[in-house]
Chain A
Amino acid sequence: MVFSELSLPVRLLFYLFLVVAAVSILYPLMWMSYTSLKTNEEVMLSPFGLPTRISFENIAEAWQTGNFTRLYANSILIAVVSVIGVIAISTTAAYGLARYHFTANRTLFLYFLVGMAVPTQALMVPSFKLMAILDSWADALYLPIPLLNSPLAVILTYLSWSSLAIIFIRAYFMSIPPELEDAARVDGARELQILRHVMVPLAMPAIATMTIFYFVFFWNDFLWPLIYLQKHTLRTIPLGIMHFEGKYVSLWSLQVAALSLAAWPPIFIYVLFHRRIQRGLTEGALKF
C-alpha cells in the first residue's frame, strides 16, 4: 500500500487517526509537565491553563519532600549493578553455549529456555520465602549485608532473569564466523582473552540491545522492590512515587511535580537515543 496513492478522504481519515492518537499520548504528559511548572495559586485558579510564568517552586519542594536524591541513588544503584551483572554472566554463558562442544550443551540450553516461559510475578511468594530463609541463615552463609530489606534481594532476583540475554547473545555469537577466533588462537591468545578482545567487541550490537532492554525493565520494575524494600530509605523511584501519592493527597500540585521528576529523565533519554531504544526493546521482544 502506498500512502500517496490513496484517495483524499482515506488519507485525511488516516491523518485524523494519527493526530488523535498522538494528542492522546502527548496531552497527559504535557499537562503533567506544565502543571508542575505552575505556582500553587495558578493550579487552583485554572487547573488546565498554561502557566503564565514558569515557577520551579513545586518541583523544588517535591524533590525535597520526596527525597528524590535518595530515590534516584537507589534506583541507579539497583539498575546499574543488576544490568552489569546480568549482562556479564549471560555473555559468558552465551559464549560457552555457542562455541563449545560438550555433552550437556543442549540440555543446558533447554534448561535456560524454561525461564522464557515462566511469568516471574507468579514466583513472588516462594521467592520471598527463599530470601527470608537465606536471610535467617545470614550468619552461617557469611552474608555481608542482610537480604531482607536490602537492595541485594532485588538484585539477586534480577540476576536470575538471564534466559532472554543468554538466548539472544548466543544466537548472535553463533552468527559470527569462527575464522576470527581461530586467527586469534593461532596468534597465541588465551580463551578468556579471545572472549574479551575479539568476541565481545564483535557481539556489541547484541549486548547493547540487551543492555537497553534490561535497563528499561529494571528501572521501571515495581513489584520486586515493593516486595523486598520496606524501609523508606531503600525505596526506588516507582516506590517513592507511590508513597508520595499516599502522603500528600491534598497537595496535588506537589504530587504532579513528583510525577514529572520521575518521568522527565527517561523521556529526555528517550528523545536523545530514541532510535537505539526502540530497536533495543523491539528486537529483544521479537527473540521470544
Chain B
Amino acid sequence: MNKVFPNKAALSADLKNNPMLRAEIRKQRVGASIRYIILLFFGLVMLYPLFWMFSAAFKPNHEIFSSLSLWPKNFSLDGFINGWNTGTEYTFGRFFINTLYYVVPKVILTVISSVIVAYGFARFEIPFKKFWFVTLVATILLPTSVLLIPQYLMFREMGMLDSYLPLYLPMAFATQGFFVFMLIQFLRGLPTDMEEAAQIDGCNSYQLLWYIVVPMLKPAIISVALFQFMWSVNDFLGPLIYISSVEKYPIALALKLSIDVTEGTQWNEILAMASIAIVPSIVVFLIAQNYFVEGISSGGVKG
C-alpha cells in the first residue's frame, strides 16, 4: 500500500478500477474495528465501578443495590446534601481542608528531600555508594506495615500523636526510597554536559542543583509530586493510626464516619462524598498530565 494518490477523485477512480485495493482497504477497516471494540470493552469494564459510584450518588439509598442500571430512576441530590453536612458538627469541607493540611507539606517535603538525595547519588562520589544504593532499594521492598508499631511508639514518645506531624515529618528525610530511586534513574539519563558548562560558568554545587538540575528534572519532579499527592489523599492507614479527634479527620477517615454498624448505612451519602473526594486527584492529574507521562516514560532527554 505504498501508492500515493494525488487527490480524492483519483483515489476513488482507482478504487473503482481495482477490486484488490478495495478488498485490502476493507480488510484493514474490519481489523481496526475489531481492535477498537475489544479495547472499548475492557476500558468500560475498568471504568464501570467509577461510573457506578457517580450514578449511585444520585440514587436514593434503596435503589443502589437493587438495580444494575447506571441511570437513576429516582434522581436525587440528597446524598450530596446530607453527605456534605455529615453526621458530625463539621461539614465535609472541613475534612477536605484537613486533608490538605498534611498532604501539601508531605508533597513539598518529599520533593525537596528526594531531589537532594537523588542528586547526591547520581552526581557525587560517595564512599560505599553501592552499599547505600542497595540499602535504598531494599527500603523500597520493605512493607510499610512492618514499621507501623515502632514508628507509632516513637511518635508517641515525641508527643506527636493526634497531630499531622507523624504523617509528613518522615518525608523531610527522603524516606520514600521509591521516589529517590525514580529521580536517580531519571538523573542518570540526563547528559552531564549542561552541568559541566554551568560549572565552568561559575556554579557551585547548590547553584548547579537549583539553576540547572531542577529545571531539567521538572517532569520527574512533577511525577513525584503527583504520585505523592494521590497516594497521600488515598492513605487510610496513616491517619487511622495517628489521628484520633474527629475535628482533625481527613477525607479518608471521614468517609468511614458514615458507615455505621448498628443502623443502615447511608450509601448514597458515602458514594456522593467519595465522588467529590476523587475530584482533587483528577484535577491535579489533568493539569500535570503532559509532564507526568514524560516523567515516567522517558529519560527526559530530547534530541
A binds B: no
Q: Which residues of B line the A interface, CB within 8 A?
A: none
